[in-house]
Amino acid sequence: MEPGAWSPLLMPKKGKSLERYLRMSQMPTLWCPGCGHGNIARGMLQAFDELHLNLDQTVVIGGIGCSGRTPFYSNTNAMHTTHGRALAFGTGIKMANPDLTVVATMGDGDTAAIGGNHFIHSCRRNIDITAIVFNNSIYGMTGGQFAPTTPQDKKSSTTVYGNIDEPFDIAELAMAAGASFVARTTTFDFQDTTELIKKGIQHHGFSVVEIITQCPTYYGKINKLGNAVDMLEYEKDMTFPEEDEPIDWKELSGQMPLGIFREEQRSEYTDRYRELRESQKSKTDVT
């Protein structure tokens, strides 16, 4: 195995080695050189490190897509599920054993297209799972078709004349559906990636951490956005940090706000179920 083949972002020259958190038998990753998914995975593992997570009691679940591969590389328990449905599996895992820490790694197609239903219902239930959404505005794994997050007019292999669909804003969708922690950053802002994932895991409730990431291979190429570094610049241009003033989501013209949009304590699903259980134990006749 050549070290050169590893995503340099997983094993940076500078900074702490996260080897303990990597499942070495699965290296090298399948990601293309310059893919932003490595940055996010690195941020996630660093968050695990800083939180001193018990890796035996942590389950990283993924959907299907380039992003969905992340569980393989994380030296925790890993469940690579089906396209779009990681959160449905996660709901079963967390409800059956609330002591497990459950982190989901999902693509934007995974999250908002085929898995849209599971996504909004997880937000609504407010179950204590952290969903990291790898938003590269495209379907990477299947070769660059448009996603429900692809901006209008942008190209993909199925929108060669420009996209006529209206895109979803995933953070906005998560808030409307009731997620109790919602934040967004980009792979350009690496510190924030780790910080927000940490906050998401610490938050007791359903957390959505959306990370705008680059797919130089498909999205970058067909839209002439340059190489990975150019795309990081592009991410910076396309976003702005949330100021103190409330955002008028309807007035956003192409640029996306970044930051923590919601962080509120609401009753959590497994807690509510536990309370229900306690209340019934004394009453129900058990036969």
Partner 1 sequence: MRLIQGNEACALGALEAGCRFYAGYPITPASEIMEWMARKLPALDGTFVQMEDEIASLAAVIGASWAGKKAMTATSGPGFSLMQEHVGYAAMTETPCVIVDSQRGGPSTGLPTLPSQGDVMQARWGTHGDHAVIVLTASSVLDTYVMTVKAFNLSETYRVPVVLLLDATISHMRENVELPELEIVERITEAEGGEDIFGNRAFFPFGVGPRKVVTGLAHDEKGKPETSRGQVGERLLKKALDRLYVDRDHIVSYKNYQAGDAKWLILSYGITSRPARAAVDKMREEGEKVGLIDLQTLWPFPDELVQSYSEKVEGILMPELNLGQLIMPAKAAIEGRAPVYPFNRADGKLFTPAEIIEAMREIMYNGKLDQTAILEQRRNGK
Ligand X SMILES: Cc1ncc(C[n+]2csc(CCOP(=O)(O)OP(=O)(O)O)c2C)c(N)n1
Of ligand X, ligand SF4, partner 1, none, which one sits near residue 216, judging by CB under 5 to 8 A according to partner kind? ligand SF4
Select from 146, 218, 234, 269 the one that contacts ligand SF4 (CB under 6 A): 218
Nearer to ligand SF4, 30 or 95 (CB): 30
Residue 191: both structure tokens together: 């510190």
Indicate which single residue of 108, 184, 216, 268 sits in contact with ligand SF4 (rule: CB under 6 A): 216
Judge whether 178 and 123 are in contact, CB under 8 Å: yes
By CB under 6 A, tell whether 47 contacts ligand X. Answer: no
SS (H, E, C) the chain: CCHHHCCCCCCCCCCCCCHHHECHHHCCCCCCCCCCHHHHHHHHHHHHHHCCCCHHHEEEEECCCCHHHHHHHECCEEEECCCCCHHHHHHHHHHHCCCCEEEEEEEHHHHHHHCHHHHHHHHHHCCCCEEEEEECCEECCCCCEECCCCCCCCCCCCCCCCCCCCCCCHHHHHHHHCCCEEEEEECCCHHHHHHHHHHHHHCCCCEEEEEECCCHHHHHHHCCCCCHHHHHHHHHHCEEECCCCCCCHHHCCCCEEEEEEEECCCCCHHHHHHHHHHHHHCCCCCC
Q: What is the dihedral of CA 56, 121, 114, 165, to 10 degrees?
A: -130
Rule CB under 6 A: say whether 147 interacts with ligand X: yes
Residues 34, 38, 109, 220: which binds ligand X (CB under 6 A)? 109
Q: Residue 172 or 268: which CB sits closer to ligand X?
A: 172
- The nearer residue to partner 1, 237 or 275, going by C-beta atoms, is 275
- Residue 31 interacts, among ligand X, ligand SF4, partner 1, none and using kind-specific CB cut-offs from 5 to 8 Å, with ligand SF4
CB of 82 to partner 1, least distance (A): 6
Q: Can residue 142 be called a binding residue for partner 1 (CB under 8 A)?
A: no
- To the nearest whole angstrom, how small is the minimum distance from the Cβ of residue 117 to partner 1? 5
CA angle (162 as vertex; 161, 165 as ends), nearest 5: 125
Of 23-31, 174-182, 191-199, 231-239: span binding partner 1 (CB under 8 A):
23-31
The backbone region for 161, taken as left when phi is positive above 0, alpha when psi lies in -120 to 50, beta otherwise, is alpha
Residues 67-126 that bind partner 1 (CB under 8 A): 71-72, 75-82, 85, 88-97, 99-100, 117-118, 121
Q: Is 138 in the site for partner 1 (CB under 8 A)?
A: no
Residue 44 contacts ligand X per CB under 6 A:
no
CB of 64 to ligand X, least distance (A): 4
Within 10-69, the residues that bind ligand SF4 by CB under 6 A are 31-32, 35, 37, 66
Residues that bind ligand SF4 (CB under 6 A): 31-32, 35, 37, 66, 136, 140-141, 215-218
Residues that bind partner 1 (CB under 8 A): 23, 25-26, 55-57, 59, 71-72, 75-82, 85, 88-97, 99-100, 117-118, 121, 273, 276-277, 280-281, 283-284, 286
